[in-house]
């Protein structure tokens, strides 16, 4: 509330005075709306819903926010985005009668580069301002680990008249997010990566509080009704507030419990603390590999501000290295890079449960696996059984 209004010792006095100032009854809905409108802490409300899976939520959000017109019908998405995002975006465009090859605008990198340059991102938005309806980009790129400047993208996107949303699958629990302060319109994410809830676990969605979703063409379900009137069994929906109006059905309780168990751990530490350790932990991994395995080509930004936990490396024989590491008890993953071959290895030490010793042992095994598969180091023997345990990285 504005300091200029003053606050009486008795709250009732302040409330009656404000009601008189605004010309409404203190018991009316208008009074509550006026109070919320003048609430300086409104941005601290959490406009988040836990529901469905990531791609289901993305479809629900695009149904609400993607309203193409003959002039403004494009969705901007990064090149080599996660396939499910591309499938969802292309199908939404097709559902509205547009050609995905024309109406899905790919954000490109420069030839020979792995990372998107922010100046190119912002220039693409500005140059296509009149035709982009929605910007939908991964907050952290799943392949390279690059973190996009979401605040800058949102600002320029809004200046261009676009709705701006993000897939935060590789960002939530990994990097610090201030979606409301950045004025992001919508976002969605899964919880089985950095939120540690397990594969297929329940997902999340965000919608900025400034949007009145009941005015948009939503797909309705029983759980999108206000809890207070849900059991009144009405013929028409009584919209729940904010993003909760996107809910369709009762969430699976076991999946909610798994998510809650992880979030309870996050409540015990601040995101600033996690990021502080993350930068040292991932920086340690980066340093060790650069010194002990210079043959590994890092494709993740070197600037800690442009990444989270993940570092991605390109190897010419990544598949064989991966197999050798697995034989030695280390589970990591490889992805198909630009050439279509599985040559990118993703490593992500997580500050909640990985130690610096874990990182040291990982690099030791990675170096041994590399030299064994390349038959170039006599030091690599099978006597490393003492480090053949699963490191959980």
Per residue in 90-137, pLDDT (tens digit) is 999 999 999 999 999 999 999 999 999 999 999 999 999 999 999 999
pLDDT in tens, 228-258: 899 999 999 998 888 988 999 999 988 999 8
85 among annotated binding-site residues: yes
| Residues contacting residue 29 through CB under 8 Å, at least 6 positions apart | none
82 among annotated binding-site residues: yes
170 among annotated binding-site residues: yes
250 among annotated binding-site residues: yes
Distances from the Cα of 96 to the Cαs of 68, 83, 362, in angstroms? 7, 20, 49
pLDDT exceeds cutoff 70 at 12: yes
pLDDT at 126: 98
C-alpha–C-alpha distance, residues 61 and 259, integer Å: 22
pLDDT in tens, 345-357: 999 999 999 999 9
pLDDT in tens, 144-164: 999 999 999 999 999 999 999
Domains of the chain: which residue ranges?
12-37, 62-266, 271-387
pLDDT category at 14 given cuts 50, 70, 90 is confident
222 among annotated binding-site residues: yes
CATH topology of domain 271-387: 3.90.1150
pLDDT at 375: 67
pLDDT at 40: 54
54 among annotated binding-site residues: yes
Distances from the Cα of 173 to the Cαs of 262, 271, 273, 310, 370, in angstroms? 10, 8, 12, 12, 31
Look at the chain and count its residues: 393
pLDDT exceeds cutoff 90 at 33: no
Architecture of domain 62-266: 3-Layer(aba) Sandwich (3.40)
pLDDT at 363: 95
pLDDT at 340: 66
């Amino acid at each position: 509330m504005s300091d200029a209004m003053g606050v009486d010792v008795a709250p009732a006095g302040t409330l009656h005075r404000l009601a008189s100032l605004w010309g409404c009854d203190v018991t009316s809905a208008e009074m509550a709306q006026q109070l919320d409108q003048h609430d300086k802490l409104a941005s601290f409300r959490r406009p988040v819903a836990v529901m469905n899976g990531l791609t289901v939520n993305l479809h629900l959000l695009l149904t609400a926010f993607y309203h193409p017109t003959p002039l403004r019908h494009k969705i901007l998405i990064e090149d080599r985005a996660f396939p499910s995002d591309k499938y969802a975006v292309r199908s939404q465009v097709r559902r509205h009668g547009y050609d995905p090859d024309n109406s899905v605008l790919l954000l490109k990198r420069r030839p020979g580069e792995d990372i998107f340059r922010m100046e190119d991102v912002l220039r693409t938005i500005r140059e296509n301002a009149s035709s982009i309806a929605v910007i939908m980009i991964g907050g952290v790129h799943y392949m390279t680990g690059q973190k996009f400047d979401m605040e800058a993208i949102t600002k320029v996107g809004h200046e261009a008249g676009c709705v701006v949303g993000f897939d935060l699958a590789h960002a939530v629990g990994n990097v610090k997010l201030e979606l409301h302060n950045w004025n992001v319109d919508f976002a969605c994410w899964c919880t089985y990566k950095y939120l540690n809830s397990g594969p297929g676990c329940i997902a999340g969605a965000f919608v900025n509080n400034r949007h009145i979703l009941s005015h948009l063409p939503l797909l309705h379900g029983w759980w999108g009704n206000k809890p207070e009137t849900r059991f009144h069994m009405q013929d028409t929906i009584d919209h729940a507030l904010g993003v909760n109006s996107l809910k369709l059905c009762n969430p699976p309780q076991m999946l909610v419990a798994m998510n809650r168990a992880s979030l309870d751990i996050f409540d015990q530490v601040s995101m600033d603390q996690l990021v502080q350790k993350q930068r040292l932990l991932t920086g340690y991994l980066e340093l060790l590999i650069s010194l002990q395995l210079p043959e590994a080509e890092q494709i993740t930004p070197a600037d800690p501000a442009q990444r989270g936990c993940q570092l991605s490396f390109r190897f010419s024989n990544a598949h064989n290295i991966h197999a050798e590491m697995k034989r030695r008890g280390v589970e990591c993953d490889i992805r198909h890079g630009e050439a279509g071959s599985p040559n990118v290895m993703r490593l992500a030490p997580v500050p909640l449960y990985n130690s610096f010793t874990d990182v040291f042992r990982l690099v030791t095994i990675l170096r041994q696996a590399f030299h064994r598969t390349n038959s170039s180091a006599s030091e690599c023997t099978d006597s490393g059984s003492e480090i053949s345990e699963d490191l959980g990285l």
